[in-house]
């Protein structure tokens, strides 16, 4: 099992904060928001053990580093692997046209 360092980008943190605010404040469900945060962090930590063992996310854009996706409920977490670093870039609502937001 490889040891990959996890790097969280500000874009991911901003996305997650907006999602949490929407669930907790707009939908008035703070416990669901906290559960989502816990599930997201758990999924990222688990994937860090084998981040390249999954098919890359199909994209129309040419990229230096392909995106990979982790699905958590209705959300998709996007990351790339650069050397021994798993870089977490975005979390988006899965029903959106995802490629246009990456």
As a dihedral over the C-alpha atoms of residue 42, residue 48, residue 49, residue 51, rounded to 10 degrees, the angle is: 120
Q: In what order do the strands lie in the sheet with 85-93?
A: 5-8, 85-93, 75-82, 68-72
Strands 5-8 and 68-72: unpaired
- What confidence tens digit (pLDDT) does each residue in 17-49 have? 999 999 999 999 999 999 999 999 999 999 999
- What confidence tens digit (pLDDT) does each residue in 61-102 have? 888 999 999 999 999 999 999 999 999 999 999 876 555 555
| Residue extents of the structural domains in the chain | 5-101
Res 59: pLDDT: 82
3-class secondary structure, 96: coil
pTM: 0.88
- The CATH number, out of the four listed (3.30.360.10, 3.40.50.280, 3.40.50.10190, 3.30.2310.20), of the domain defined by the range 5-101: 3.30.2310.20
């Amino acid at each position: 099992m490889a040891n990959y360092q996890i790097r969280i980008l500000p874009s991911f943190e901003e996305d997650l904060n907006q999602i949490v605010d929407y669930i907790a404040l707009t939908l008035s469900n703070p416990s669901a928001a906290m559960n989502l945060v816990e599930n997201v962090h758990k999924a990222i930590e688990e994937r860090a053990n084998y981040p390249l063992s999954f098919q890359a996310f199909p994209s129309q854009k040419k990229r230096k580093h392909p995106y990979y996706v982790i699905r958590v409920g209705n959300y998709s977490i996007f990351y790339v692997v650069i050397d021994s670093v798993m870089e977490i870039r975005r979390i988006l609502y899965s029903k959106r046209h995802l490629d246009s937001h990456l």
